[in-house]
Amino acid sequence: MSAATPQADPRARVLASFERQSIMRLIGAELGEVEPGRVEILLPYRADLCQQNGFLHAGISTTIADSAGGYAAYSLFEPGEDVLTSEFKMNFLAPADGERFVASGRVLKPGRRLSVCQVEMHAWRGERATLCLAGLMTTVRVTPR
């Protein structure tokens, strides 16, 4: 398969997979920047995604961070391969209080089977970003049987 085909294009493959994630549609998340080994996921503020104090719920924060890291790893895989999370550790550094949220994932160590990624999630209010979540995760490359 040549590099010119859409399936070989990492952004096209990430976008196609992202569009199949019904949870992303449910919460209103969108795919942001996609580069080999780096992906962003954008989420506008919604009151129904918040916890009792009005901050984005930790479960939603980790959902978009997990997907950003997973897709960062996936962007380096071959067409036909897929990705699963095998482990993650998230640290919450500040309340997720903002108008919009940006989760980013970056591959630290790609591997044949396992890849380690760094993830972050920032809450944006106007032009000011607050780092709310930082973590590490391990993804598994799933090859066709």
- The pLDDT tens digits for 12-28 are 999 999 999 999 999 99
Q: CATH number for the domain including 121?
A: 3.10.129.10
Domain assignment of residue 96, given as a range: 6-142
- Tens of pLDDT, residue by residue over 2-13, are 343 444 799 999
Q: Report the number of distinct structural domains present in the chain.
A: 1
Q: Does 79 map to a domain?
A: yes
Residue 1, in any domain of the structure:
no
Q: What's the predicted TM-score (pTM) here? A: 0.93
At 86-133, the pLDDT tens digits run: 999 999 999 999 999 999 999 999 999 999 999 999 999 999 999 999
Residue 92 lies in a domain: yes
Distance CA 113, CA 61 (A): 26
**Averaged confidence pLDDT in the chain:** 94
